[in-house]
Structures are given as structure tokens and as C-alpha cells.
Amino acid sequence: MGQAGASIARVLDAFVHLSIPRVLVLKSDELPAVLVRTVGSGKVSAVRQGFHGQLRGEAIVVYGEARCNDLSDLMGYDQWADDASDTELLRDVGNLFVGACLRGIAEQLRVDIAFSAPSLMAGRVTAGAGELLCSGTVPWSNALLVEVNFRLEQRSFACHLIMLIPENEIKVIASGLERFLDAIR
């Protein structure tokens, strides 16, 4: 995660604060409530991106009310001001955070992963009203949830990165961790 923060800092040319990752195993029907507890009940926008290969799952980047507007110049979007660019900026920044974090995890676990294109999952919805995610929409019963929040120094930008890994993929992480620990023993 530290490496991911360093990569993001190089791209955005700003110091990145990241929280200690929060890890929990949850049932699918608990997910909507956990999301609200994590991101708050206010207006949010979210981008989702699947990852597949030797480790599969879904990553969600949740933005607060300010979205990514503070990053438009850093990502080269300040030449436009339209809805399409607004949406693409959310996806671009989402892809940056998801890619940097999962690339690091995959490298340490020595697994090969690929990403689907990021898509807008929610645009300015009220998380507390259950608009971010309804229960019964996920195809697994138990999953590992890893949550990190990011904040940029001197910018108002902040976001939550939530990675969801279905239970049958947890063994990939366990064997990867064993390989990793064997290598440093």
C-alpha cells in the first residue's frame, strides 16, 4: 500500500496520506450497511472496476461530494468542462488508485491480473438511502473486504478504495502470502 501511495504521489505530484487498511470478512447482505459505515451517509459518486486472472474481485472507488474536481488540472482535464469529461475524470482517477494498489498486491503475491474498464457505478447518490448498492446484487455469499482511504496534501481531494474479493479467492491470497513469507525467511 505504501508503494501504491508513492506511485500515486508521482502521478499527481502531491503528497498522499493513506489510512491503515481495514480488513474484514463479510456476508453479501451486510455489504450495503458496511459501505454506508465506511463512506458516510452523504452524497457520493462511485466507480467500479473488476480485476481477473489469478486473483479475481471487484474494486470500488467512492468519492465524496467534491468528487475529483480538484484533480482536473493534474489529470489534464482542465481543457474541457462538460459532463462526459466529468465522468471520465472519475473513471480515470478510479483506475489510477485501483491500478496502483492492486498492481502492488499482485506483484507481492506473484499473481498475474488484468483489469476491466472502469465504469461509473453511482453518480451523486445518497449513500445513507441505500442508493450506492442494493443488497442482493452481488454474486457471492462471503467476501474479504479491504478498505483504504486516501487524502491529498494541499488539495481537497479524498476517496475511499474498497476491494472485494470473493471467499473462494481468499486461498489465492493465502498461498501467495506463504510464498512471500518463505521468500523473506
Partner 1 sequence: MNAGATSQLLDFVVERLEVGVFAVDREMRVVLWNRFMALHSGRRAEEVVGRNLFDRFPELPVKWLEKKLRNVFLLKNYAFTSWEQRPYLSISTTTAQ
- Residues forming contacts to partner 1 in the complex (CB under 8 A) are 7, 10-11, 74-80, 84-85, 87-88, 91-92, 95-96, 99-100, 103, 114-115, 117-118
Provide, rounded to whole angstroms, the least separation between the CB of residue 11 and partner 1: 5
Provide, rounded to whole angstroms, the least separation between the CB of residue 171 and partner 1: 26
Residue 117 has φ and ψ, to the nearest 5°, of -70, 140
Nearer to partner 1, 32 or 118 (CB): 118
Environment class of 147 (CB within 10 Å of its CB; exposed 0-12, middle 13-18, buried 19+)? buried
Nearer to partner 1, 32 or 99 (CB): 99
Provide, rounded to whole angstroms, the least separation between the CB of residue 106 and partner 1: 11
Provide, rounded to whole angstroms, the least separation between the CB of residue 46 and partner 1: 16
Residue 94 amino acid letter: G
Rounded distance, CA 171 to CA 131, Å? Answer: 32
Cell of 107: 506483484
Nearer to partner 1, 39 or 71 (CB): 71
Rounded distance, CA 21 to CA 28, Å? Answer: 20
Q: How many residues does the chain have?
A: 185
Q: What angle do CA 39, 41, 47 make, to 5 degrees?
A: 50
Nearer to partner 1, 6 or 23 (CB): 6
